[in-house]
Structure 1
Amino acid sequence: MDFTESFNGFREESDSIGTKQVPMDAYYGVQTLRAAENFRITGSTMHEEFINSLALVKKASAITNREAGLLSKKIESAIIQACDEIIIGNLHEQFIIDPIQGGAGTSANMNVNEVVANRANEILGGEKGAYNFVHPNDHVNMGQSTNDVIPTAGKITILKLLPKVTKELESLYNALIEKSIEFNDIIKMGRTQMQDAVPIRLGQEFKAYSSVVKRDIARITKVQEELKVVNMGGTAIGTGINADELYFDRIVSSLSLVTGIDLRQAQDLIDATQNLDCFVSVSSAIKTCAVSLSKMANDLRLMSSGPRTGFGEINLPPKQNGSSIMPGKVNPVIPEVVSQVAFKIIGNDVAITMAAEAGQLELNAFEPLIFFNLFQSIEMLANGINTYTENCIKDITANVERCKELVENSIGIVTAICPHIGYKKAAEIAKIAMATGEPIRNIILNKDILNEAELNDVLDPIGMTEPGISAKYLINYKKIDL
């Protein structure tokens, strides 16, 4: 891509590297253009919420520098207007650099500095590129460094994206609770290590799914508190060099005001500039949620397998044809896509972990990768949960008779008999059932171990799926001829 195409002429700008022709109409400048040419990595540009967050940081900084007497009211107003235009979505096409970039985000910081400066100059009657009223570094970046601007903007962005995840998780939780109530009386076979275990109610399984979702909501909500601690005022390495004392004291409160988020300045700004563990925590919470949802998706695929030769205990809503060659085949496409979302999030988490680990001394240069992956993971998770809830969970139905049939023909129900006849005899009955294919119930009745009323009580669906045993039928291990 040629970033100088389709423009009406050029202007010449210079930096410490040299001079360069910048499109006349561009609000970005020479440093942005160099970065766009250097970093052609993903084929995309920075996340729109990250752009807005950068503008919020610049707006708060202008307000605070004006309060410190370092900016005139005229320059402050022009910078604020330029930032406000960006925040409502204007000028986003001027942010042309790739989200993956070398330099710890300096390119992203300069992109916003140049766009804001050029728009502010225009507001004040100047020309783009001349910087005769407002300079990208001297005014827009006053009292700041890439190293406090970028992590702070990243945290604000994540705090804006995460509420959608929790909202979708809450909808999923409610849908699972509804299914747990709907399926509460349906007995089915529980399985461990893919082998028959003991009976369970289908409603209990869905209640368990809701419980893990509830924990995920709690984790993601809790981790947001870490993100509210920012290193603004620390500038380059956390020592606050070139930051006015009043600006240092007020910048975070100004940023809280313009963002509407209760942000706090880190007690140790050097630590907050060096270490990115908070982003690892966020990624871990997102990954943990994705893992839980994929495990649930695995269960749904198994329970719905068939329709004739699998478990066939539940029906997933049919969403699309499952084959270009096999007529009538319908696949569990929603659980499949949820697992794929999880796989991607797990991969992103590994990259985030390695990037956070790779920091050296006073700075981590790999924040661009962390943010690119983390923003993607958050959005993919939210979208995946939405389709999970709306296109799958809400419309699942149960095959009641199939569930009952599998329980009745299972060896596993012998476990419920065990307290009444002892483990050894119960094991012998299980062997007979496996050898002959005869149901456990028939063996018990035919050998007059328990009569039908007693057996019905012992094998009561609720009784088999909750603590306690039918003590009145305990046989005290009497001799039983098998």
Structure 2
Amino acid sequence: MSDFRTERDSMGDVQVPRNAYYGAQTQRAVDNFPISGWTLHTDLIHAMGLVKFACGIANRDLGKLTGTGKRPLNDKEVEAMLNAAREVANGKHDDQFPIDVFQTGSGTSSNMNVNEVISNRAIELLDGDRFAAEKPVHPNDHVNMGQSTNDTFPTAIHVAVAMAIRNKLIPALKKFHESLAKKAEAWDQIIKIGRTHLADATPLRLGQEFGGFARQLQLSIDRAEAAVGAVLELPVGGTAVGSGINTHPEFGDHVATALAEETSIPFVEAENHFEANAQRDGLVECHGHLRTIASTLFNVSNNIRWLGSGPRCGFYEVQLPDRQPGSSIMPGKVNPVMCESMMQVAARVMGNDQTITLSGAAGGNFQLNIMMPVMGQTTLESVNLLASSADAFVEFCSDDMEANEEACEQMVEQSLSMVTSLNPYIGYEKASKLAKEAFKSGKTIRELCTEQQILDEATLNEALDPMRMTEPHAD
């Protein structure tokens, strides 16, 4: 028996792997685009299955599938088609989507890939011959009814991205926020020296420093929510150019409602289908929020990396958990690998934003953006990288960090910036001279003030109380 079967499309015969659920148009795309070896992200494949399911529901409820079209379906055939779409959405047929990411810019190849798989699987569920030339559940006439790639593919991208952010990224960011907030609370009474411009500054509490990091994560959660909001409008219903040709006027609303019910995400039909088909500004906005989150994660992990530097010749105010040997030549060396991993993820996401921005700006000509597969793939990569990195950082680093109280406190008294609290008593100019003298002599600010009797002992002790310096005072 041959390993291939012959399928036919409008351009002629094509040899397709014998047992594949996909057909001729998918195989042509596989042959035409031997580019990267990267197939579509499974999140997007599952979303395409879900979109086809919602479209089937809409066409069923609007009487289109069972109406007076070219070949109406009976109720059993409709149910088989919906079940096949549901299987795709649930990941049952992930191995049936072999097309390269770098394909036709609208995603037509992948749209037809989904249509063919659902068609043939539905026929199989009906105990029919999915290899027959005539398709009782047709990939174009039934699975793709009332649709164009130009509106359903970007709809699937929006659905996939929104679901990934809600189900993966936001929970990961919340976990990271909780981890940092716990450290901030536990370390609230540990005094350390502040640093601005990488130079000594006035004291603060280690808990305050980590409270700042926790706030950055809280704002990142807000930005992730805003990223979901940017992709809630769905292009479906616009068909080829936004005019809605060959679809029911209520189709887009029905599909958006079905998707909202399935995902518990408040998707809506696009307000203007000509904008929704032609432009991907919502996706650009969405990824802009992801870029900002990446910037935050880079900053937080890099700060923690610096705080953990040492153990003898760095700051070493925070002890990071040992995860693996750090050198092939230096015995005993341990490196801040989780921080470095997160920084690399953040750099990748920031680079991805350039791809998204250029694709959105230059790819949308007249009634269609022709950069959609790479936009969908890149955005989903960013979401999943950020989520996985945050999860790993919490599990393998932040939850197990320990404060090095001795290292935090020993630098405070040595800091020349302690003189700042004397400004209200002796003025900026005299305080500046005192700091320079302390640096030159190697003495502390307290020692010089005591020697020179600049303030009485009680006032000096109050002014140079490090804990008091960590908060504002009215007096």
- Is the structural similarity TM-score above 0.5? yes
Give per-residue Cα distances to partners, 1:428-459, cap 9 Å, x unaligned.
10110121111111001111112333222112
CA distance in 1 between counterparts of 2:360 and 2:26 reads 25
CA distance in 2 between counterparts of 1:437 and 1:203 reads 30
Aligned to 1:178: 182
Aligned to 2:149: 146
- 2:200 aligned residue (196, 215, 220): 196
- 1:14 is paired with a residue whose SS is strand
> Is residue 175–residue 394 contact of structure 1 (8 Å, CA) maintained in 2?
yes
Mapped pair 1:303 → 2:307:
yes
CA distance in 1 between counterparts of 2:307 and 2:58 reads 59
Mapped pair 1:207 → 2:211:
yes
CA distance in 2 between counterparts of 1:249 and 1:205 reads 48
Aligned to 2:35: 41
CA distance in 2 between counterparts of 1:399 and 1:85 reads 53
- 1:421 aligned residue (411, 416, 426): 426
> Is residue 99–residue 369 contact of structure 1 (8 Å, CA) maintained in 2?
yes
Mapped pair 1:467 → 2:472:
yes
- 1:400 aligned residue (393, 402, 405): 405
> Is residue 121–residue 128 contact of structure 1 (8 Å, CA) maintained in 2?
no
> Is residue 411–residue 439 contact of structure 1 (8 Å, CA) maintained in 2?
yes
- 1:407 is paired with a residue whose SS is coil
Mapped pair 1:412 → 2:412:
no
Give per-residue Cα distances to partners, 1:257-307, cap 9 Å, x unaligned.
344433211111111111111111221111111111111122112222121
Q: Which stretch of the first structure deviates more once superposed, 245-254 or 79-88?
A: 245-254
Mapped pair 1:104 → 2:106:
yes
Aligned to 2:78: 76
> Is residue 446–residue 464 contact of structure 2 (8 Å, CA) maintained in 1?
no
- 1:408 is paired with a residue whose SS is coil
1:155 shift after superposition: 1.1
Aligned to 1:135: 138
CA distance in 2 between counterparts of 1:306 and 1:79 reads 62
1:139 shift after superposition: 1.2
Give the counterpart letter for 1:60 in structure 2. A
1:282-361 alignment to 2 at 5 Å?
Answer: 282-358=286-362, 359-361=364-366
- 1:196 is paired with a residue whose SS is strand
Give per-residue Cα distances to partners, 1:209-252, cap 9 Å, x unaligned.
01111111111112312322101111011110111235355332
Give the counterpart letter for 1:340 in structure 2. Q
- 1:353 is paired with a residue whose SS is helix
Give per-residue Cα distances to partners, 1:168-190, cap 9 Å, x unaligned.
11111111111111111111111
Aligned to 1:479: none
Give the counterpart letter for 2:110 in structure 1. A
Mapped pair 1:27 → 2:21:
yes
CA 1:259–1:315: 2 relative to 1, 3 Å: closer
Aligned to 2:89: 87
1:121 shift after superposition: 2.2
Give per-residue Cα distances to partners, 1:295-349, cap 9 Å, x unaligned.
1122112222121111222211111111111111111111111101100110111
The structure, 1 or 2, with the larger RCO (C-alpha pairs under 8 Å, 6+ apart) is 2
TM-score, normalised via structure 1 length: 0.92
1:41 shift after superposition: 2.8
1:9 shift after superposition: 3.5
CA distance in 2 between counterparts of 1:230 and 1:110 reads 20
Mapped pair 1:373 → 2:378:
yes
CA distance in 1 between counterparts of 2:259 and 2:433 reads 73
| Identity between Structure 1 and Structure 2 (%) | 42
CA distance in 1 between counterparts of 2:297 and 2:90 reads 35
> Is residue 189–residue 196 contact of structure 1 (8 Å, CA) maintained in 2?
yes
CA distance in 2 between counterparts of 1:110 and 1:394 reads 46
1:440-455 alignment to 2 at 5 Å?
Answer: 440-455=445-460
> Is residue 118–residue 131 contact of structure 1 (8 Å, CA) maintained in 2?
no
> Is residue 121–residue 131 contact of structure 1 (8 Å, CA) maintained in 2?
no
- 2:411 is paired with a residue whose SS is helix
Mapped pair 1:53 → 2:82:
no
CA distance in 2 between counterparts of 1:454 and 1:251 reads 73
> Is residue 36–residue 100 contact of structure 2 (8 Å, CA) maintained in 1?
yes
1:424-435 alignment to 2 at 5 Å?
Answer: 424-435=429-440
- 1:325 is paired with a residue whose SS is coil
Aligned to 1:3: none
CA 1:89–1:249: 2 relative to 1, 3 Å: closer
Give the counterpart letter for 1:403 in structure 2. C
TM-score, normalised via structure 2 length: 0.94
- 1:126 is paired with a residue whose SS is coil
Mapped pair 1:252 → 2:246:
no
CA distance in 2 between counterparts of 1:69 and 1:179 reads 58
Mapped pair 1:16 → 2:27:
no
* Count of residue correspondences: 464
Unaligned runs of 5+ in 1: 1-6, 472-482
CA distance in 1 between counterparts of 2:386 and 2:132 reads 41
Give the counterpart letter for 2:136 in structure 1. F
CA distance in 2 between counterparts of 1:97 and 1:200 reads 55
- 2:195 is paired with a residue whose SS is strand
Give the counterpart letter for 2:214 in structure 1. S
Give the counterpart letter for 1:263 in structure 2. F
Mapped pair 1:64 → 2:58:
yes
Give the counterpart letter for 2:119 in structure 1. A
> Is residue 13–residue 22 contact of structure 1 (8 Å, CA) maintained in 2?
yes
Aligned to 1:231: 235
CA distance in 1 between counterparts of 2:425 and 2:284 reads 52
> Is residue 8–residue 23 contact of structure 1 (8 Å, CA) maintained in 2?
no
> Is residue 237–residue 244 contact of structure 2 (8 Å, CA) maintained in 1?
yes
CA distance in 2 between counterparts of 1:184 and 1:132 reads 69
Mapped pair 1:362 → 2:388:
no
Aligned to 2:70: none
- 2:123 is paired with a residue whose SS is helix
CA distance in 1 between counterparts of 2:416 and 2:60 reads 78
CA distance in 2 between counterparts of 1:181 and 1:251 reads 47
Q: Which stretch of the first structure deviates more once superposed, 158-167 or 9-18?
A: 9-18
> Is residue 287–residue 345 contact of structure 1 (8 Å, CA) maintained in 2?
yes
> Is residue 419–residue 431 contact of structure 2 (8 Å, CA) maintained in 1?
yes
Unaligned runs of 5+ in 2: 66-72
